[in-house]
């Protein structure tokens, strides 16, 4: 924490005494511990994915649905030991896995908590749910610790990446990170209907950016074929600061989303999750209320 380089921004700030780009301090900060039923079906199981939402983020997405924790930093500080306890508690609740949401800026401490929890009997798959804006060296720390990678691949072109997420060179960084994730865990493996190992790459289709989405699908399929899963999401909701950006100030049209799904089908993509119905609804946004964060 004295010269942080956990993410590609390499701020090298002393997080004990001041903040870098992500605004995260020295200690872990968690906003919600829950059983989440609205993930991809292979991650949910009977009770839900065991999500743990971390505060702060190394991107500045102007449309972030979790802005209260990612940008405003809502959450509660927890120790490594408490995080390990949370993992075990999620297992006791019947979670299908331990899903770590926006974890990159706490990687070192999360690794320590995973090791401690496994010593205490944790046996669930570990899911790394990130924005893919990752360092390869940081990802290497996850070898043997993380079983499933669930990255977003947000942009192919650099202009929207800079304009909407303050993330220069996003695709070159994220694409290399996803290749590294695949190297770490390999092709998808299942126990019945549950994924226990592998990579699912999410892409949230943005209004006026369906061509960008198609480029992303082209790259994923050319690079990995059907050895990974793709998850195409139509749930874009223009909240937070989205109204300030004309191109993304509205919801997605049916045509925009369907054309992206059809493009994937025409390519021959088989392992692809799609969303049906109206998912652009604030009711799908988690209620960040510190549930299950503290010991009671």
What mean pLDDT is predicted for residues 9-19? 95
Cβ atoms within 10 A of the Cβ of 159, count? 9
pLDDT score, position 2:
85
Q: Contact at 8 Å (CB) between 27 and 76?
A: no
pLDDT(181) > 70: yes
**Does residue 131 surpass a pLDDT of 80?**
yes
Backbone angles phi, psi at 35, to 5 degrees: -100, 115
**Contact yes or no for 32/289 (Cβ under 8 A):** yes
Predicted TM-score (pTM) of the model is 0.97
Please report the pLDDT score of residue 7 as a whole number: 97
| pLDDT surpasses 60 at 158 | yes
Q: Tell the burial category of 130 from Cβ atoms under 10 Å away from its Cβ (0-12, 13-18, 19+).
A: buried
pLDDT in tens, 236-246: 999 999 999 99
Greatest Cα pair distance in the chain: 53
Residue 283 has pLDDT above 90, yes or no: no
Is the pLDDT reported for residue 296 higher than 60? no
- Of all residues in the chain, the percent with pLDDT exceeding 70 is 99
Per residue in 50-107, pLDDT tens?
Answer: 999 999 999 999 999 999 999 999 999 999 999 999 999 999 999 999 999 999 999 9
pLDDT at site 280: 65
Q: Using CB atoms within 10 Å of the CB of residue 202, give its burial: 0 to 12 exposed, 13 to 18 middle, 19+ buried.
A: buried
Three-class secondary structure assignment of 153-206: CCCCCHHHHHHHHCCCCHHHHHHHHHHHHHHHHCCCEEECCEEEEEEEEEEECC
Confidence label for 1 from pLDDT (cuts 50, 70 and 90): confident
Distance of CA 246 to the CA centre of its chain: 26
Question: Would the pLDDT of 151 be above 90?
Answer: yes
What tokens does 134 get? 């990752």
Average pLDDT estimate for 178-183 = 98
On the question of pLDDT at 251 being above 80, the answer is yes
- Give 98's strand partners: 50, 126
Half-sphere exposure of 259 (CA within 13 A, CB side): 16
Each residue's pLDDT tens digit, 259-270: 999 999 999 999
Average pLDDT, the chain: 96
Domains and CATH numbers, the chain: 28-284 (3.20.20.70)
CB neighbours of residue 222 within 10 Å = 9
> Using one digit for the tens of pLDDT, what is the confidence trace for 195-241?
999 999 999 999 999 999 999 999 999 999 999 999 999 999 999 99
Examine the pLDDT at 281 and tell me if it is beyond 80.
Answer: no
């Amino acid at each position: 924490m004295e010269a942080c380089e956990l993410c590609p921004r390499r701020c090298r700030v002393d997080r004990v005494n001041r903040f870098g780009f992500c605004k995260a301090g020295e200690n872990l900060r968690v906003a919600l511990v829950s059983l989440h039923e609205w993930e991809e079906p292979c991650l949910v199981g009977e009770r839900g994915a065991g999500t743990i939402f971390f505060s702060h983020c190394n991107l500045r997405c102007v449309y972030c649905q979790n802005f209260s924790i990612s940008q405003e930093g809502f959450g509660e500080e927890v120790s490594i030991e408490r995080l390990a306890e949370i993992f075990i508690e999620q297992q006791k609740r019947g979670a299908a896995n331990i899903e770590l949401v926006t974890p990159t800026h706490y990687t070192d401490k999360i690794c320590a908590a995973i090791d401690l929890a496994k010593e205490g009997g944790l046996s669930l798959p570990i899911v790394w749910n990130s924005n893919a804006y990752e360092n390869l060296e940081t990802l290497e720390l996850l070898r043997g610790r993380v079983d499933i990678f669930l990255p977003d691949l947000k942009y192919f072109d650099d202009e929207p990446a800079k304009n909407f997420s303050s993330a220069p060179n996003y695709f070159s960084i994220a694409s290399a990170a996803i290749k590294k994730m695949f190297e770490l865990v390999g092709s998808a493996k299942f126990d019945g209907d549950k994924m226990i190992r592998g990579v699912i790459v999410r892409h949230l289709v943005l209004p006026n950016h369906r061509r960008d989405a198609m480029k992303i699908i082209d790259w994923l399929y050319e690079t990995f074929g059907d050895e990974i899963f793709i998850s195409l999401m139509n749930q874009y909701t223009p909240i937070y600061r989205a109204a300030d950006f004309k191109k993304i100030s509205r919801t997605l049209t049916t045509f925009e989303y369907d054309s992206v799904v059809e493009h994937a089908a025409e390519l021959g993509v088989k392992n692809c999750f799609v969303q049906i119905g109206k998912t652009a609804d604030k009711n799908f946004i988690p209620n960040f209320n510190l549930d299950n964060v503290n010991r009671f």
